[in-house]
Amino acid sequence: MERGIERDPGSFRDPESWILNDGDRLVRRIPVDLVGLLAQPEFSKFLAAEITQGRLVPGRTLPDQDMAALGLGGPSGMESYLEHPRLPFVGYPHEWSATMLAEAGRLTLDLQCDLLPLGVELKDATAFNVLFQRGRPVFVDWGSFRTAVRQDVWYALGQFQRMFLHPLLLRAVRGWTPSQCFLTHLDGIPLTTVTKELGRARILSSPTLWLDVLLPSWFESRSRGRTPEIPDRPAVPLPAASAGPGFQISNLRRIRRLVDRLERRFVHDGEWEDYAVACHYHPAADEAKRTLVLQFLGIASAASVTDLGCNSGNYSYLAASTGAKVIAADGDEGAIARLHARLKREPAEINPVVLNLANPSPALGWCNRERTSFMHRGKSGCVMALALIHHFRVSCNWPIDHIVDFLDELSEGWILAEFVPRDDPMFKTITRMRDEDYSDWTIEAWEASLGRRFVRVKEAKLPASPRTLALWRRR
C-alpha cells in the first residue's frame, strides 16, 4: 500500500473486513456481500435512518479516485471501501460501567431485530462493535452486516451471551464489574465460568437461567460427550429452517427484557460518588474554584481535556462548555454510571471512563497491540487533576516525581492541578489511620518537580481553603 496507509493492528479478526489508518483517514474494506446490500434501497434507507438517530457511525463509499490515491483496490479492481469519521475517543468495554454495557447490549439486540425483516443480520455480536459518544452507544462495525444465513436462528447469539448477558448476570449476582470481566476475558465470559459463579442451585431455581444458562450448558456438555443431570421437562423443538424471523425476534426481545431487569438490580455504592457533596468546600471556595477552573481552561484553550478523578463530572461539564472534547475518568463505577446517566439527560462532548488511575488499562490482545492502553488513548491537550494528586501520594505511595511523570505522560501541553496540603481537612481524613511521614508533601516540592518540564502560567489560592490551583504549560 502507498502513502503510509496501514492496516490497524486491532482489526484482523474478520478476514473480509478490516480497518486501514493513515493518520488522517479511517477506511474500512467491505466484503462483496455488503456491497450488494448497500445497493438495495430499503437497506440504504435503514442505514441512513440509523445514522440520523446516532445509533450507527456514518460511512461514505470511497470513490475510485480516492482509492487509487491511497493505493487501494487490488489487481482485480473489485474491492470496495468506506470512509468513517474519526471519533474523539475509543473506550473499551473494560472501561464501561455496567449500565453502559447494558445499553450497548440493547443496541446490539435492537439492530439485529430491525435488520431481520430486511433479510440482513449481524454476523458477530462483540461488545467491541460499540463505542460511546456524548453518552450514547454507537455501532461502528459496518463489516458485521451480511445477508441473513437463517432468520430463525442467530449464529452470533452465543457471542452475545459471552460479551453481554454473562457479564451482566455476574454483575447483578456476584458484583463483577466490566473491568473484572473483560480485562481477563477479552472475548467475553465463557459459559463454564458463569455456571460456576452462579451455582447449580441458583440456576435450577430460575426459569430464566434455564433458558440462557442451563440449556446452553447442557448442549455444550453434550457436544463434549458429557451430559449433566437436569430435571425432566418437555422437549422444546427448534423451528424449521424455513421459518421467518418471528421466533428469533421474540427470543431476542425476551433477552432484552432480561437485560433491563438485570440493570435495575445494579447498586452503585461507590466510596467517592458523593464526594462532591461530602467534601464540604466552603461556599466561597467552591464558587471561586469553578470560576478559576473556567478561567484557566480559557487560557489553555485546549481542544481536548482529560479530567482525572472526575467523580460526578461537574468539572468535566465545565471543560466541555469551553468547546473541548473531554475524557472523564474515575475509578468508581457508580460515579461513572451516574455521569453517564446525566449525559443522557444533558448531552455534552464527554466520554466517561471507569479507570483505576493507579493501574490504567493496559494494552491487550494479540501481541498487546489489539487494544491499546489508556495511556496511549487518554492523551489530551490539557490534563485536569482536581483534588486528586494527594491521593496518589497517600493511597498509592507515589513519590512526587512519579505523580508528575504520570501527568506529563498524558498531557500534550497543559496541566491544571489542585494542590491539597497536609493541613487540609480531607488530607487529614485520608491519613488518619496511617503512620507514614508525609513531610515531603509540600507545595514547594510539588512546584519544583513540575517546573522541570512545565512553566507555571497562573496560580491562585482558594479563599477559605488551604488549597492552591495552578495552570502549567509544557516548556
DSSP-derived letter for residue 239 is: P
The predicted structure's pLDDT at residue 206: 83
Query: pLDDT means per 10 residues in the chain (475 residues)?
Result: 68 87 84 93 97 96 84 67 92 97 98 97 97 95 95 94 96 94 95 90 83 80 58 47 83 96 74 49 82 97 97 96 98 94 95 97 94 96 97 95 98 97 93 91 97 97 93 97
Residue at 357: amino acid letter: L
Q: Are residues 233 and 376 in the same domain?
A: no
The predicted structure's pLDDT at residue 280: 54
Cα distances (angstroms) measured from residue 459 to each of 31, 369, 447, 470: 56, 40, 11, 4
Residue at 158: amino acid letter: G
User: Which of 41, 68, 86 is the last residue before a domain boundary?
Assistant: 86
Q: Are residues 180 and 68 in the same domain?
A: no
How far is it, in rounded angstroms, from Cα 59 to Cα 56?
9
Tally of residues, the chain: 475
Q: Are residues 55 and 147 in the same domain?
A: no
User: Which of 86, 101, 127 is the last residue before a domain boundary?
Assistant: 86
The predicted structure's pLDDT at residue 272: 43
Q: Are residues 279 and 253 in the same domain?
A: no
Label residues 83-110 b or e (16+ Cβ within 10 Å = b): bbeebbbbbbbbbbbbbbbbbbbbbbbb
**Count of structural domains within the chain:** 3
Return phi, psi of residue 336, to 5°.
-70, -35
The predicted structure's pLDDT at residue 14: 87
Which among 158, 148, 132, 103 is positioned nearest to 242, based on CA atoms?
148
The predicted structure's pLDDT at residue 111: 98
Side-chain half-sphere exposure of 3, counting CA atoms within 13 A: 13
Q: Are residues 113 and 4 in the same domain?
A: no
Label residues 433-457 b or e (16+ Cβ within 10 Å = b): eeeeeeeebeeeebbebbeeebeee
The predicted structure's pLDDT at residue 18: 86
The predicted structure's pLDDT at residue 67: 84
Handedness of CA 73, 74, 80, 83 (dihedral sign): negative
Enumerate the H helices of 414-456 as residue ranges.
Answer: 425-430, 443-450
Q: Is 38 exposed, middle or buried (0-12, 13-18, 19+ CB in 10 A)?
A: middle
Q: Are residues 187 and 200 in the same domain?
A: yes
How far is it, in rounded angstroms, from Cα 423 to Cα 323?
36
The predicted structure's pLDDT at residue 219: 76
Q: Are residues 162 and 109 in the same domain?
A: yes
Q: Are residues 206 and 347 in the same domain?
A: no
Specify whether the CB–CB gap between 146 and 172 falls below 8 A: no
Label residues 243-282 b or e (16+ Cβ within 10 Å = b): eebeebbebbeebbebbeebbeebebebebbebbeeeebe
How far is it, in rounded angstroms, from Cα 126 to Cα 142?
13
How far is it, in rounded angstroms, from Cα 70 to Cα 73?
9
Which among 387, 392, 388, 410 is positioned nearest to 305, based on CA atoms?
410
Q: Are residues 255 and 145 in the same domain?
A: yes
How far is it, in rounded angstroms, from Cα 109 to Cα 425?
49
Instruction: Give the count of beta carbons closer than 10 Å to the beta carbon of residue 68.
Output: 13
Specify whether the CB–CB gap between 177 and 336 falls below 8 A: no
The predicted structure's pLDDT at residue 13: 87
Domain CATH for 356 = 3.40.50.150
User: Which of 33, 52, 86 is the last residue before a domain boundary?
Assistant: 86
Rg (C-alpha) for the chain, rounded Å, is: 25
Specify whether the CB–CB gap between 87 and 30 falls below 8 A: no
Does this model's pTM top 0.85?
yes
Specify whether the CB–CB gap between 219 and 228 falls below 8 A: no
Query: Which residues form the domain of 290?
Result: 275-474
